[in-house]
Every structure is written in C-alpha cells, then in structure tokens.
Structure 1
Amino acid sequence: MPKKHFVLERGRKAPLPLILDIPDKTVTIQEVLPILFDIADRTFIRTYQELEPDRSVTCGPGCCHCCRQLVPATDHEALYMMDVMRTLPEDHRKRVEQRYAEGIEKLRNAGLLDGILDFLDNRVHKVEEYKAIQKLYWDLTINCPFLEDESCSIHPHRPIACRQYSVTSPPELCARVFTDAKLAEIHHPVDLGGALAGFDGENARGTVIVPILFARLYEERLRGREEPRLEAERMVARFIDLAGMYTEK
C-alpha cells in the first residue's frame, strides 16, 4: 500500500505528523476503521509521552472496571464489531452472543431498555441525561460482551472510546467511578471518539452513538443504510481534518 502523509491538529499541543499506509481504492468507513484506530493509538501515545514525569497510565490487563460502563461506541464501530464477532472461533462467538443477550435482558428486567433506546435515538447529545443513564447502567454490573478473564478478548479491534479512556490514579478507584472517588483521568487534546461519532464517512453530521451492548440491536437498521464510498486517502484526510476541530478549548 502506498504511504501517505497527513497532519493531525491537536489544539494547543504540537500537531502530530502521520505517515499512513492507505489502500488505493474506494472504501466505506468500516474498511478504513483499522487505519483510524492506528491514528487513535498514535495520538494517545503522544499524549502519554507528554505527561508530567510523575504521572503514568495505570490501566492494563485485568483492570476492567471501564468494561462495565455504558461505552459510547459509534455506529461505524458497532457494525465493525459485529463483523469481528463473526470471525471468532465458534465457542468464543457463542459466549459473546450469550453475554449480549444476558446484558439486554438485564436492562429489560430493570425497566431501562426502552428508555435508553429512546435516548440514543432522540436525545443522545444531552450530556447530563447520558450521565444519569450511565449510572443506572453501572449499577446493574453488565459486563462488555467481549470481556473474558477480566480482559478485552478483541483488544486490537476495540472502539476508539476504549482506547481513549485512561487514568493515572490507582486502578481500584475505578470500581467507585460513580461515587466520591477522585479519578485522575487523562484528557487528550483531541476527542477522536467524538470526531468519529460526528463523521459519516464523507462529511460532518450529528452525533451518532451505539454503545457496545446495543450493537446487535441496531445492526439490521445500520446494515440497511446506504453508506458513503470515497477514495480511501480522501476519506481518511476528511476524518483527520474533522478530528482537528474536536480539540480541547
């Protein structure tokens, strides 16, 4: 694949040069998600390199409290994860599907499912309401369907929100995220998760969020959409340009 040069603007931080392998063909956004994940990883690594000397990331294998939150993935990533799920060995795939079913059933039994679906479809930009829903979800202790042995079983394919969330505080505090615990979250200068949620593969759009647990519920609807197709270089360039606008103020 030919290598292409880009620059990601990072607000008050120095821009990040990127040299990326870009296929020479027309693609949908799902087909370039691995490239966007690579951009995210490079961006977040740069943030970690810029941390003060006495701070370091404390997230790691076996620390999975964030995997029990209502993780705000995008519609693009929801479809991508469904594709990944179907490539898993049969036993693994069946366990993931079972956890999807059990999680949705927990929400239904708690009387929360319809309200969350209505929120995702109609009011997802309401930040305070989303925080309230996240707390209700957390209280049910629903594991991410891909969580196995306290680690992500599809780690290379995880959504940008999972890559973006990190702390420098003791991991045990994350178990009390919705209490009085003071987490030292790392704030990246670029919100790549937000940029992806606001990107349709061609242009900027209203935010679309499909949390990981809801991917199977939304899949049929999402598969029925007509997705933009662009030359891969042009699509990646447009995403990088948009992401440069999702910077800290």
Structure 2
Amino acid sequence: MLEDRQGFVRSLRPNRRVVRFELDIFGHPLRIGISFADRPAELAELVPMARQITDRITRLITRNLNFSGRKIACQKGCAHCCYYLIAVSTAEAFCISNAIFALGAQKRRMLIRACCIAGRNTIASIAQNPTTGQDTDQMDTLQNLSDWYSNLSLRCPFLADDCCQIYEYRPLVCREYFVLESSKPCAGDCADSSRRVNIPVSIAEILAETCCKLQGADNTVILPLAIPYAYDNPDDARRTFPAETLVRTFVETLCDNIYQNISNVEMTSFQL
C-alpha cells in the first residue's frame, strides 16, 4: 500500500486499485491517493502508506509555519523529547520489528539488546509508580505516564549519541511531534503546550484505531516493548486481511475523526 496521488505506481501497475480523498490542512487542500493490490495483506503493510501521508501533512504544516515567520526548533542532535514514553500501533510494532530484523547482524543485535534492557527498565519503573492506572480517561493516563516517565531519564532504546538509529522508520508519533523555536532551551520544556505545533489530524492515532477495529482489541504497544511484542505475537503479525479491507478501514476511521475536513472520498478500480 502506497500513497500515489499522482498515479505513478498505478501507471506502472495498472491493475492496482486506488482510494482518493482530500484533506484540508489549515486551509490548504491536500490531495491523497492510496494505491494497493487486490490481495491479502498484513497490518504492517499499512505503515509505509501512513508514513507517506504523515510526512506530507507535516511538510505542509512546516511550510505554513515558515510563511508565518515561525520556525521549528527540532533538528538533528536535539533529543529531549526522546525521553518521553510513546505508544505505537500493533502495525508499527510489527513493521519496526521487521525492519530491525532485516538489518545487519551487529546493528540488529545492538538494537534488540537495547530494547530488551529498556523494556525491563520500563516495566520495573511502571510497577513502582503508585499513580499508574488511577486516571479514568485513557488519554489522561497516557499523558500522565509519559510526563512521569520523562523524569526517570530513561531514553528511547533507539537513541544513540542523541541520534535516532531507526530514523527512516521511526514511529508516526515522532514524525508528528514538533516544537517551535523559543528563547528558552528545549530541555524540560518540550512538552510545553504553548510551543508544541498543533497537528490537525494525527495519522498515528488513526492507524492505532484502525488496528483496534481490525483486531477487535486495543493492543497499543509502548515503544520499548515493540520488538518483544512482535516476537511474542507471530500469528498476529502474519495474519492477513483483504487489502481493500485494510485501506477502507483506515480511510473510514480517518473520515470518522475529521469528517468536517475531508471531501471527495471514493474508491476507483483501474483495469488494463
């Protein structure tokens, strides 16, 4: 599954099907086309398309900020937000795990070991947190956990020398997180809501909800446990769905969340 608004993939493979829709991002139309083959597909195959859409949305937002005279503070070597606890969808957990196991042996072992250590430390720290689970609202619980976790100085297992070791396939949440420039340093302030860039639609949340609908359960995974989760759930990782079902569920979830900003949703078949 790929984002194919200009039809390049379809021109090479005319038997692929396409879902077209349009998003309104701060008054700018963003035309999107999702191309897919009519075959069984795994959840992880949703992720490349979700990354492409996320990157297009964030590029448009960044350009809009630049035009208004505001700038993003985030740059290579800035890793303060990499000490927050983040969650990924099961699709991303499977996709990131697949990418890591495809790496060379030395780097693969290094990242798997880092994940195992981070996972153990995270579980031990959460078990010692007396406030865990006291919030009735799931989003409040996740936010409070993340704020509490950041004070433990447990870095992301994929961070080394303040650089992301899986930048090409980093989580959607990381792709969507931006902080505006300020006279104050980012340290201890990157969660400041006044500096965070508002994302009108979170593809990370859309993908997580899509996975919940398809799997019939909320199996969102905290990032340090992504590889162990994928390893312990091989049947879920290999489970297939009709590609059309995956794409339609994703688009319908998107529509349900931002129906006021979406137009011209249609399914089109292309034949030779």
TM bucket normalised to smaller: 0.7 to 0.9
- Give the unaligned 5+ runs of structure 2: 1-8, 12-17, 261-272
Candidates 55, 69, 86, aligned match of 1:54: 69
Aligned-pair CA distance for 1:246:
2.9
* Structure-2 change in CA distance of 1:171 and 1:24 (3 Å): farther
Which aligned pairs between 1:1-249 and structure 2 lie closer than 5 A? 1-2=9-10, 4=18, 6-10=20-24, 13-51=27-65, 53-110=68-125, 112-113=126-127, 126-170=138-182, 173-177=185-189, 183-200=194-211, 207-225=218-236, 227-231=239-243, 235-247=246-258
Local SS of the residue matching 1:50: helix
Query: What is the root-mean-square deviation of aligned Cα atoms in Å?
Result: 3.3
| C-alpha distance after superposition, 1:130-180 (max 9, x if no partner) | 22211231122122121122111211211111111111134964320388x
* Structure-2 change in CA distance of 1:227 and 1:193 (3 Å): same
Local SS of the residue matching 1:245: helix
Aligned-pair CA distance for 1:61:
1.0
Aligned-pair CA distance for 1:6:
1.7
Aligned-pair CA distance for 1:183:
5.0
* Structure-2 change in CA distance of 1:128 and 1:167 (3 Å): same
Scaled by the length of structure 2, what TM-score is found? 0.75
Local SS of the residue matching 1:199: helix
Aligned-pair CA distance for 1:220:
4.1
Q: Distance in 2 between matches of 1:55 and 1:178?
A: 16
Contact map agreement 2:46 2:91 (CA 8 A) in 1: no
Q: Distance in 1 between matches of 2:241 and 2:211?
A: 10
Local SS of the residue matching 2:256: coil
Contact map agreement 1:166 1:185 (CA 8 A) in 2: yes
* Structure-2 change in CA distance of 1:139 and 1:241 (3 Å): same
Local SS of the residue matching 1:166: coil
Larger radius of gyration: 2
Q: Distance in 2 between matches of 1:149 and 1:171?
A: 25
Scaled by the length of structure 1, what TM-score is found? 0.81
More strand by share: 2
Contact map agreement 1:11 1:247 (CA 8 A) in 2: no
Q: Distance in 1 between matches of 2:153 and 2:185?
A: 16
Aligned-pair CA distance for 1:48:
1.8
Moved more, 23-32 or 11-20: 11-20
2:269 aligns with none
| C-alpha distance after superposition, 1:164-209 (max 9, x if no partner) | 1111134964320388x56511111112111111002875966542
* Structure-2 change in CA distance of 1:114 and 1:104 (3 Å): farther
